[in-house]
Structure 1
Amino acid sequence: MKARHIFFILIAVLWLGLLTAQEQPGRTVINIEHADYMEGSERFGRNVQALFGNVRFRHHNTLMHCDSAFFHRAENKMHAYGSIHIIQDDSIHLYGNILHYHGDTDIAMIRENVRLVNNDVVLRTEHLDYDRRNDVAYYFNGGLIESGDNILESVYGYYYPRTEEAHFQKDVVVTNPEYFMYSDTLVYYTLTEIVKITGPTTIESERNIIYAEAGFYDTQNDVARLEKNGWIKGEEQFLSGDTIFYDRNSGFGEVFSNMFLQDTTNHIIITGDYGFYNELTKEALATKRAVLKQIHQNDTLYLHADTLRADPIPDTELQIIRAYRNVKFFREDFQGRCDSMVYDLRDSINSFYIDPVLWAMGNQMSADIIRLFTRNNALYKTELINNAFVIAPEDTIGYNQIKGNHMVGHIRDNQLYRIDVDGNGQTIYYPKEDDVVIGMNRAESSNMTILLEDQQVTGIILRRQPAGNLNPPALVSPDAKRLSGFRWLEDYRPKRKEDIFIHDAPPVQEGRVNYDDFLFDRNIPSR
């Protein structure tokens, strides 16, 4: 009787253990579906079954294949080896050489030659843990994901098959036929093939280098949104801003807030609160506090306008730069203002339209149109067209003045040394002897040439119908000391670079011609 009681007690304990392993509340056990050969032995351990040949397990909706396995029934886990193939929901396929699966936590650990396939997405690594319950696969010792034309590699990676989202960390490299992307952390959406930039990221291609610390890059359509310290660097141009929308196919980059465009070839910088640049056509635009900066030797020209544009000149590598409305500029030795400006880089001619006024070489120059001619980065000629007027103060006595229909000023070593006047030439100047003014000379001629040295008139050549007189300044009435149309606009001259943003309105020049039609023609105005 004693032995019989002991036998029934052992049977009860065995069944109790099986119930504990299989029927605990909320627990689903791993089921063996097939094996060519199965063996239970003490050498494998207590409650351990060894399975060999075409082994197949099922847990929930997950099917697991392998060559051989050890099933720990009490612990609801298994160790599988050879030809590992896990099928999840008939859509996710996992391959490898070794599998450790815990049924209570729904975690599969796959090792050696690991491959996860989800539709057209393939993940490859040597060490992968797959949390079936939370639907996330993660590697921690290097891996990559192949998606479309992209290969994404990193040290650490997380892939969510249900949402088709992948997270990459540390030494991230994205390889695309058109570029390479380097980052320390980013997110990739496999369905749309969009990269979410979440840290310092560089994109390198033959055309340019792109950098951002936040934003998105659509790898299917090659469209990017760059945020936080974003910039694009080409062979000759550098573009940055708070937010940049960039289309690689068209080369178009649109900037919102703090636009900065640098042209290293022409030594030009354009800034503004909004603008765009096309790296293929070389077109550029900036508005809202738009500024053009041109570096000249050791000095910089600062020019502001409501709108700045740069357009390519056909069949050349050069551009035409246009400034529209409220143009104002400053350089230590050169200041000016006008309504609109056109700068042709082919011949370095700068044209100023609609009541332009320039201050340079001690003179105030105005006309309907003013053109500056540059050679070898040095100004050598200025042309004043229609209603030309040049004024220079002569101590406290008055103003030296030159007026005519058309003027050409010749410049050498940044000094005006000759002015040729064509049509209705008039002049007032104060000749000196031993630096003492000896009178006021008023002369008129249809055509004349004025010679200057150190900003002082040294001679006048009256070429046609000359007339003139010299009188003591004290005997000349105030009105006679000024030619008709005289305007002294010193109060409107920008005296520092910050003044280019002051929108004031000087007195309008009488008889001014409107040249608006020139400004919106893509071709340079006729000369």
Structure 2
Amino acid sequence: MYKIKSLSNSQFRFTLVLFLSILAFSAVSQEKKKVEIIQAGSLQENASIANAQRLIDSVIIKHNDILMYCDSAYTYNGTNRVDAFGHVHINQGDTLHLYAKKAFYDGDNNFAQAIHNVILKNKDITLTTDTLDYDIEQRIGYYDCKGTIVDSTNTLTSQIGKYYLNDDVIHFTDSVKGFDKNYTLSSDDIRYNTTTEVIYLDGPTTIQDSTNTLYAEDGWYNTQTGEANLSVNPKVYNDTQLLTANDISYNKENGDGMATGAVHMEDYENRTIVEGNKVIFNELTEIATATDSAVFIVYNDADSLYLHADTLRTLPDTIEGANVVKAFYGVRFFRNDIQGVCDSLIYYSKDSLVQLHSNPVIWSENHQLNADYIELRQFSNSPDEMHLRRNSFIISKMDSARFDQIKGKDMIGFVINGKLNNVDVDGNGQTLYYARDKEAIIGLNHAESSKIAIRFKEGQIHKISFLTQPEGELKPLVDLTEADKTLSGFEWKIKLRPLSKHDIFRYPTKQSVQPEEEAKEKPAANKRSKE
């Protein structure tokens, strides 16, 4: 005969907790709702399918917050499974309506699959596809056989899609297309917020609006306003212009935009490029301002001009299709045949006109030209012109100790094939040049005349014509003093000269440089095609 062993207090408490837990689990299990048949024309047992019964004609079934309508259905004893056929309509809550030719519903696993002519409607969103898997509890719909989403303005299609109804977000992947009256879209991976109507880019995406094509591999685009933020290889382009950067922000409504990091703006018609690390622009006014390592490039088949300044601004000219570029503070530019510095500069694309203001200095070959104001004009079928206004001074280096010099009020220089060919001096003309007898230097000629015409050959003064009676003298070399070798105002500024397209970013000191201090010759050729 067995004796009942008494329980200790701790053992008794453990046993009681375990017993109550079992009762609670049993109560929850008993409360689990089962599929209810609300309506059916008839009910039939199906001998060929175990535990199955068939409902026919105007079937209505309820399970939790799901109402299902169909022409016929199978239900299965002991489970919450329903196979529905013909005009299937599943309603969840107040907003979701799912339509299909047939559906397989598994209430035990909170899952439904709708098949053939599937339509899911939620608020203002309509999704159509051939097959849709639906997580009832998480309210997530998934398709992988091509689907289309339509709302009040947008239409989006993809091969694969996942609709997060609780978050109002649809994730489209594989062959994504989209459009409305304002844009068309092509992508491999985007997310669409159905409330804000903002598209988030998760892969290579191209968006075409009324004026531009936008490309990026990350960022977002507001389909209602046209506002966008593009990152990872972004670019905005059309038939005549291109903008690339590390990050581009763009508002189509007011035209404002900003590009940061390795910015490249190219104008194909005017053959110009603006680069920098920050560019603020407005598409409507066509004004752009570049700062932080800003560079302006004018390119052609023969050579390219590189110009740097603290601030670069491009704006439309009064002539249609033409641009004006303004450069401010610390201007330095380089081209193989000409280099220069000044404080501010204006470039007119239509006329190929460059205006240099505030302490401008230009170098070409062994010549240095400076004045209060300098203007450069480039022509297609005639010599280029350099206009020097007020306090004009040209220095031509012969060697480290000898310099030919021309000084006057105003000058016009003519450039042929990148070489200074002749200079006309108008007002207060002075010349200081080394006279030659064949190859030998015979002395230093100092002459003054109000109007002078000078011709150059191989970088040196070849012929001088005095249009008014000159005054001057020729001094032999042995009689020269240091004071005789320079005109008043002489200042050889070779240390300021940009030596390459990369050297335009250098900020040299601005002190005068005497001949013996010169360290470098003129820069070597550095031809550049369009980059």
Q: CA deviation at 1:187?
A: 0.5
Q: Which amino acid aligns with 2:33?
A: T
Question: In the alignment, is the contact (CA less than 8 A) between 1:28 and 1:103 conserved in 2?
Answer: no
Q: Which amino acid aligns with 2:375?
A: R
1:145 aligned onto 2:149: yes
Q: CA deviation at 1:396?
A: 4.1
1:210 aligned onto 2:214: yes
Q: What is the match of residue 49 of structure 1?
A: 53
Alpha-carbon distance in 1 for matches of 2:381, 2:36: 85
Q: What is the match of residue 33 of structure 1?
A: 38
Q: What is the match of residue 238 of structure 2?
A: 234
Any residues of structure 2 matched to 1:78-227 within 5 Å, and which? 78-227=82-231
Q: What is the match of residue 71 of structure 2?
A: 67
Alpha-carbon distance in 2 for matches of 1:46, 1:23: 28
Q: CA deviation at 1:379?
A: 5.6
1:456-481 deviation per Cα after TM superposition (whole angstroms, max 9, x unaligned): 22222222352011111221111111
Q: What is the match of residue 260 of structure 1?
A: 264
Question: In the alignment, is the contact (CA less than 8 A) between 1:448 and 1:463 conserved in 2?
Answer: yes
SS at match of 1:375: coil
Q: CA deviation at 1:51?
A: 0.9
Any residues of structure 2 matched to 1:284-299 within 5 Å, and which? 284-299=288-303
Question: In the alignment, is the contact (CA less than 8 A) between 2:491 and 2:512 conserved in 1?
Answer: no
Q: What is the match of residue 317 of structure 1?
A: 321
Q: What is the match of residue 11 of structure 1?
A: none
Alpha-carbon distance in 2 for matches of 1:377, 1:194: 54
Percent sequence identity is 36
Alpha-carbon distance in 2 for matches of 1:460, 1:379: 20
Alpha-carbon distance in 1 for matches of 2:511, 2:486: 16
Alpha-carbon distance in 2 for matches of 1:88, 1:307: 60
Question: In the alignment, is the contact (CA less than 8 A) between 2:312 and 2:328 conserved in 1?
Answer: yes
Q: What is the match of residue 280 of structure 2?
A: 276
1:10-36 deviation per Cα after TM superposition (whole angstroms, max 9, x unaligned): xxxxxxxxxxxx984674321111112
Taking structure 1 as reference, are residues 285 and 412 closer, same or farther at Cα in structure 2, changes over 3 Å only?
same
Q: CA deviation at 1:415?
A: 2.4
Q: What is the match of residue 434 of structure 1?
A: 438
Alpha-carbon distance in 2 for matches of 1:153, 1:87: 24
Q: CA deviation at 1:90?
A: 1.4
1:85-125 deviation per Cα after TM superposition (whole angstroms, max 9, x unaligned): 11111111111110100010111111111111111111000
Q: CA deviation at 1:280?
A: 4.1
Q: What is the match of residue 365 of structure 1?
A: 369
1:67-97 deviation per Cα after TM superposition (whole angstroms, max 9, x unaligned): 1111112232011111111111111111111
Alpha-carbon distance in 2 for matches of 1:377, 1:67: 85
Q: What is the match of residue 391 of structure 1?
A: 395
Question: In the alignment, is the contact (CA less than 8 A) between 2:113 and 2:133 conserved in 1?
Answer: yes
Q: Which amino acid aligns with 2:369?
A: M
Taking structure 1 as reference, are residues 441 and 198 closer, same or farther at Cα in structure 2, changes over 3 Å only?
same
Q: CA deviation at 1:39?
A: 1.8
Alpha-carbon distance in 2 for matches of 1:377, 1:230: 40
Taking structure 1 as reference, are residues 379 and 240 closer, same or farther at Cα in structure 2, changes over 3 Å only?
farther
Q: CA deviation at 1:387?
A: 0.9
Q: Select 1:415's aligned residue among 412, 419, 428.
A: 419
Q: CA deviation at 1:391?
A: 0.3
In the superposition, the TM-score normalised over structure 1's length comes to: 0.89
Alpha-carbon distance in 2 for matches of 1:26, 1:274: 65
1:164-219 deviation per Cα after TM superposition (whole angstroms, max 9, x unaligned): 11001111111222221111111100000000001111112452221101000010
After superposition, the CA RMSD in angstroms is: 2.0
Taking structure 1 as reference, are residues 58 and 379 closer, same or farther at Cα in structure 2, changes over 3 Å only?
farther
Taking structure 1 as reference, are residues 23 and 356 closer, same or farther at Cα in structure 2, changes over 3 Å only?
closer
In the superposition, the TM-score normalised over structure 2's length comes to: 0.88
Q: Which amino acid aligns with 2:39?
A: H
Alpha-carbon distance in 2 for matches of 1:361, 1:383: 18
Q: What is the match of residue 338 of structure 2?
A: 334
Alpha-carbon distance in 2 for matches of 1:377, 1:36: 94
Give the gaps of 5 or more residues in structure 1.
1-21, 510-527
Q: Which amino acid aligns with 1:362?
A: N
Alpha-carbon distance in 2 for matches of 1:378, 1:196: 55
Q: CA deviation at 1:500?
A: 1.1
Q: Which amino acid aligns with 1:33?
A: I
1:480 aligned onto 2:484: yes
Question: In the alignment, is the contact (CA less than 8 A) between 1:148 and 1:193 conserved in 2?
Answer: no
Alpha-carbon distance in 2 for matches of 1:393, 1:29: 102
Greater shift, 49-58 or 202-211, is seen at 202-211
SS at match of 2:503: helix
Greater shift, 389-398 or 184-193, is seen at 389-398
Q: What is the match of residue 308 of structure 2?
A: 304
Question: In the alignment, is the contact (CA less than 8 A) between 1:27 and 1:104 conserved in 2?
Answer: no
Q: What is the match of residue 8 of structure 2?
A: none
Question: In the alignment, is the contact (CA less than 8 A) between 1:355 and 1:508 conserved in 2?
Answer: no
Q: CA deviation at 1:332?
A: 2.1
Alpha-carbon distance in 2 for matches of 1:60, 1:248: 47
Alpha-carbon distance in 1 for matches of 2:101, 2:132: 11
Give the gaps of 5 or more residues in structure 2.
1-26, 514-531
Q: Which amino acid aligns with 2:476?
A: P
Taking structure 1 as reference, are residues 377 and 53 closer, same or farther at Cα in structure 2, changes over 3 Å only?
farther
Q: Which amino acid aligns with 2:496?
A: Y
Greater shift, 212-221 or 139-148, is seen at 139-148
SS at match of 1:479: helix
Q: Select 1:490's aligned residue among 491, 494, 500.
A: 494
Q: What is the match of residue 18 of structure 2?
A: none
SS at match of 2:130: strand
Question: In the alignment, is the contact (CA less than 8 A) between 2:492 and 2:512 conserved in 1?
Answer: no
Aligned residues: 488
Q: Which amino acid aligns with 2:103?
A: L
Question: In the alignment, is the contact (CA less than 8 A) between 2:364 and 2:419 conserved in 1?
Answer: no
Q: Which amino acid aligns with 1:38?
A: L
Alpha-carbon distance in 1 for matches of 2:438, 2:193: 84
Q: CA deviation at 1:437?
A: 1.0
SS at match of 1:430: strand
